[in-house]
Amino acid sequence: DAVAEGNTGNEPRSPADVADAIEEAIFALHPDEKTKEYRTKLRVVTQALKGPRNALVRRALLHDAIGAEQLTTLDAKALEERAKEATAKLPPSAPGDLGGSVPPSPAIQPLQPLS
């Protein structure tokens, strides 16, 4: 499985495929879904993927530049460094690339100070 191995690719994988690979990697570490360790690892991985700060990690996963096994075993700092290195080798982010952050809508204007 390319996601588990961390092979670099130009075409992004579907988020569902990546999610399956992540779940398999967590299950390989903690085979009993009812244990505290499994639930804790699931929460840690979820946090590692949330928010605009982790856009590079998401993009690296979608493009197979980081594998699901690495996501489940590296600490946050090492994961961030690995994502920076891996995404530097990828083509520029395309519109709709789920790995990036969502740009603000042009219809929403910033608030202007009242005079």
Summarised one tens digit per residue, pLDDT across range 63-86 is 999 999 999 999 889 999 999 998
pLDDT over 90 (residue 23): yes
pLDDT over 90 (residue 25): yes
Tally the domains of the chain.
1
pLDDT of residue 113: 67
Q: Which domain holds residue 45?
A: 2-88
pLDDT over 50 (residue 49): yes
In a domain, 114, yes or no: no
In a domain, 11, yes or no: yes
In a domain, 109, yes or no: no
In a domain, 107, yes or no: no
Instruction: Output Rg (C-alpha) for the chain, integer angstroms.
Output: 16
In a domain, 14, yes or no: yes
In a domain, 57, yes or no: yes
In a domain, 108, yes or no: no
